[in-house]
Amino acid sequence: MSYTGGEFHIEEGGLTCVSFVAGGLTSMLSGWIGMKVAVFSNARTTVMAAGSNPWTDAFNTAFRAGSVMGFALVGLSMLVLFILAHFFTLYFDKWDVAGSGEALKLTECLAGYGLGGSAIALFGRVGGGIYTKAADVGADLAGKVVENIPEDDPRNPATIADNVGDNVGDVAGMGSDLFGSFAEATCAALVVASNSPTLIAAGGWSGLMFPVTISAGGVIVCLLCSFVATNIMPVKHEADIETVLKVQLGLTTLVLTPVIYALAALFLPSTFELSRVADPTISFDFTPLKAWACVISGLWSGCTIGFITEYYTSHSYSPVREVAQSCETGAATNIIYGLALGYRSAILPVSLLAIVVYISFWLGDMYGVALAALGMLSNLATCLAIDVYGPI
């Protein structure tokens, strides 16, 4: 039940509730699919690792399994959102959604979709993450510290809990969390876009749904680029794994840049007006070029943040090695250095986020910020494939 202008609207509140439930169920389904795929592909990866071409076959099996999680999550989220949007037009059709202010009511009802996904992500990400860390630390303490046996040794029963924790937290929890972010960013962009009467009038339904096309283009690009890791650049040695995964992230970002411009030119009108959030009476012109700039600012900053994270967390670079060396002088120096390094690693990502928000807000106000957020998530399928590859 929603309340506007002194009247209660039970129908619109009911549609928002439907969106909320659909978002929660989709989030749970995405996590369940990820866990099932991770469990079955884990055994297959082990078999491949014992074959005649272990590095290539094992990597391809694990990466393809991670891709299943990535494409399933993005595909399901877009499919359910598409169905909900067209289902809601049955109720709002009498006000002509494509040509009147009723588009705002439709997108506001869709906003419950992202909230439902975030509600489930709260339990999946936080609960799963706590389970993961508790099981991981418990396995390390019981094995390496108490019994002095290697990590993930089959003689340590806590290893089972550690592996379950990886599946729950790093696959299901992370999938639910990213689904919530993806759904919320898409719904936010739709709500802001529906506030522009000129966009609805000139662009129609296609112009309104431009944020969805960004993710759709990302799915196709990620699908095509996935063959680079498995066929064009096969992994032949352990050192190749890190290189191939980096190429995947960089290549999808590079290919998406012109694709997004083509989508903006195709779906958005040549110019339309947006209102300033600080003063709705002030409007400004927005163009496909500005939309493209907002999206790619988020796209490239997300790619850069990924490489920065890799630098601060990979054993191939000095920060992790310095943390390991700090253990030689005791736990105190290790804790102090680890905390300092963690604080330092956040400087560049936070700075990049601030720059992206400033640029996108300057170009397109809140609509630009929403498009920048979608740009960061446009190659989500590849990012999830890389993330889920690790636990598998």
Question: How confident is the model over 44-68, as pLDDT tens digits?
Answer: 988 888 888 888 888 889 998 888 8
| Proportion of the chain above pLDDT 90, given as a percent | 22
pLDDT exceeds 70 at position 312: yes
Q: Could you write out the DSSP letters of every residue in 134-167?
A: HHHHHHHIIIIIII---TT-TT-THHHHHHHHII
Residue range 223-235: mean pLDDT, rounded? 86
Q: Could you write out the DSSP letters of every residue in 234-302?
A: ---SHHHHHHHHHHHHHHHHHHHHHHHHHHHHHHS-S-EEEE-SS-TT-EEEE-HHHHHHHHHHHHHHH
Residue 128 near residue 225 (C-beta atoms within 8 A)? no
State residue 95's pLDDT score: 47
Distance between CA 169 and CA 279 in Å, rounded? 43
Q: How many residues make up the chain in this entry? A: 392
Q: What's the chain's average pLDDT?
A: 84
Greatest mean pLDDT among 40-44, 112-116, 301-305: 301-305
pLDDT in tens, 335-351: 898 899 999 999 999 99
Q: How many domains does the chain have?
A: 1
Q: Could you write out the DSSP letters of every residue in 185-241?
A: HHHHHHHHHTT-HHHHHHHHHHHHTHHHHHHHHHHHHHHHHHHIIIIIS---SHHHH
Residue 352 near residue 372 (C-beta atoms within 8 A)? no
Range of the domain at 125: 2-389
State residue 360's pLDDT score: 93
Pair of tokens at residue 196? 């522009």
Residue range 201-229: mean pLDDT, rounded? 87
Q: Could you tell me the pTM of the whole model?
A: 0.86
Nearest Cα neighbor of 373 from 390, 356, 389 is: 356
Q: Which amino acid is at 296?
A: I
Buried b (16+ CB within 10 A) or exposed e, 10-19: eebeebbebb
DSSP tag of 51: S
> How many separate helices (H) and strands (E) can be counted in the chain?
14, 4
State residue 6's pLDDT score: 47
Pair of tokens at residue 124? 């999946």
Pair of tokens at residue 302? 């997300």
Residue 93 — very low, low, confident or very high, per pLDDT cuts 50/70/90?
Answer: low
Distance of CA 124 to the CA centre of its chain: 15
Please state, in angstroms and as integers, the Cα–Cα distance from residue 316 to each residue in 145, 242, 244, 364, 370, following that order.
25, 9, 15, 40, 35
32 in the Ramachandran plot: left (φ > 0), alpha (ψ -120 to 50) or beta? alpha
